[in-house]
Amino acid sequence: MRVKRWGGVIKMSVMATQKPPVPKTVPKRDEGGSVVLERIAQRTKPPQMYQVVMLNDDYTPMEFVVLVLQEFFSKDRETATQIMLKIHLDGKGICGVYSKDVAATKVDQVLDAAHQSGHPLQCLSEPVE
Average pLDDT, the chain: 86
Give the confidence band of 24 by pLDDT, cuts at 50, 70, 90: low
Q: What confidence score (pLDDT) does residue 82 get? A: 98
Angle at 70 between CA 68 and CA 72, to 5 degrees: 60
Strand partners, 94: 53
Q: What pLDDT sits at residue 120?
A: 97
Q: What is the DSSP letter of 7?
A: T
Predicted TM-score (pTM) of this structure: 0.67
The pLDDT assigned to 20 comes to 64
Instruction: Using the predicted structure, report yes or no on whether residue 87 has a pLDDT greater than 90.
Output: yes
pLDDT surpassing 60 at residue 64:
yes
Domain locations in the chain as residue ranges: 49-127
Runs of H (alpha helix) within the chain: 62-73, 77-90, 100-117
Band the pLDDT of 42: cuts 50, 70, 90: confident
Section 45-71 average pLDDT? 96
Confidence bin at 25 (pLDDT 50/70/90): low
Task: State the number of CA atoms in the 13 A half-sphere of 88 facing the CB.
Answer: 14
Q: Regarding the domain delimited by 49-127, which CATH topology (the fold level of the hierarchy) does it fall under?
A: Ribosomal Protein L30; Chain: A, (3.30.1390)
